[in-house]
Structure 1
């Protein structure tokens, strides 16, 4: 998934109830950037956090966060957090299923290709668009253009939501792609000597 100043990639292995995700929020030019290396193996989750940007050192407890180790997460403290959590009871990486529930119009444009509009207010629940962007869109949020592609087996392979400019926010595309269905491997848990418990400063940063 890419767009909205962030990108993410990973794999989900349903048989073992495990997943690996790499998330980048911001870039080298940002005041603050975050690189998250996440491993989920139900019921546990771990994250290795790397902070960057000129504002990184001013974050409370920053020296406890940039550890170069995996921090074990308390599931009760990240429940519902789209960046940190993973729901193996309702697997929807990148929130595409939630987005499709907001489709208001769709038409086939070719073999396995589609276009239409959707109510992007669903995107906040999906975790792909910040609520402030949706609020700035106002009535436009009810009818935002999108395109989608299916693979030869009829499975979603790409979805692009074209967010128009609104308020202080520039126009942007949110792009989600899926590939290698059935080829994922079980995620490997981090070695015990590379794991620490996440400190309260970590939860304060994301809550």
Structure 2
């Protein structure tokens, strides 16, 4: 005998974590699949690919414009756990005077801000989103996978200059942001809207994460595609 009762679907599991815990858990870790990211801040941009399985990071900084002589330059870093390269892409080509190949540099001579060698070390770039989440006390869920909150930028280093913080005054204590996670709970975007104040124009600070598991693996340079970094490179970047 066939039952005429409709089949029952189990309800989705209840997530009892606080919203702050959920968005922090969505941040990429050193064991995440390869992914691509972009950062658009008030006066610069950055993009890159973090490949934790292969321990490779490629980071492209926003173009810099020079006038003497006139040219535009893009800086690209390529890092593995034991090798590091830097490339300066000039328009017109070669205007900076540096080789236009990948320049293999000593990561100990161009260290990170904390003094550690500039190699791949389990990067979860960009960490700005994590800092925002960690320094917020009022994150709430607005719908499935969508969250909002505020962050006190006057107590969070690295986002605004002292001059801009002074212009914002008390407004800096409660800057609104939104967060979007994908269906797997992974971070896909964080957007922070900073208001204008006095001569400070304000603007939008946005970080996106995408192509989880599908981003193209950064290609390491062949012997013909690279050269040893000249001494002038270390003087320029130190």
Structure 1 gaps of 5+ residues are none
The two structures have a TM-score, normalised by structure 1, of 0.75
C-alpha RMSD of matched pairs (Å): 3.2
Partner of 1:71: 103
Candidates 131, 138, 145, aligned match of 1:105: 138
2:197 aligned with 1:170: no
Report the count of equivalent residues. Answer: 192
Counterpart-to-counterpart distance in 2, 1:116 and 1:172: 17
Partner of 1:195: 226
Structure 2 gaps of 5+ residues are 1-38
Note the C-alpha offset of 1:183: 2.4
Note the C-alpha offset of 1:156: 0.8
Residues 122-145 of structure 1, C-alpha deviations (whole Å, 9 max, x = no match): 351xxxx35456644454433211
Candidates 61, 67, 86, aligned match of 1:47: 86
The two structures have a TM-score, normalised by structure 2, of 0.67
Candidates 62, 67, 71, aligned match of 1:24: 62
Query: Structure 1 pair 134/16, CA: closer, same or farther in 2 (3 Å)?
Result: farther
Counterpart-to-counterpart distance in 2, 1:205 and 1:110: 48
Richer in helix (by share): 1
2:44 aligned with 1:6: yes
State whether residues 164 and 200 of structure 2, in contact with CA within 8 Å, keep that contact through their aligned partners in structure 1.
no
State whether residues 55 and 120 of structure 2, in contact with CA within 8 Å, keep that contact through their aligned partners in structure 1.
no
Residues 26-80 of structure 1, C-alpha deviations (whole Å, 9 max, x = no match): 5699x87531222111122211113569xxx7xxxx42x3x21111222123332
Secondary structure, aligned partner of 1:21: strand
State whether residues 40 and 187 of structure 1, in contact with CA within 8 Å, keep that contact through their aligned partners in structure 2.
no
Counterpart-to-counterpart distance in 2, 1:103 and 1:153: 23
State whether residues 138 and 149 of structure 2, in contact with CA within 8 Å, keep that contact through their aligned partners in structure 1.
yes
Counterpart-to-counterpart distance in 1, 2:182 and 2:126: 17
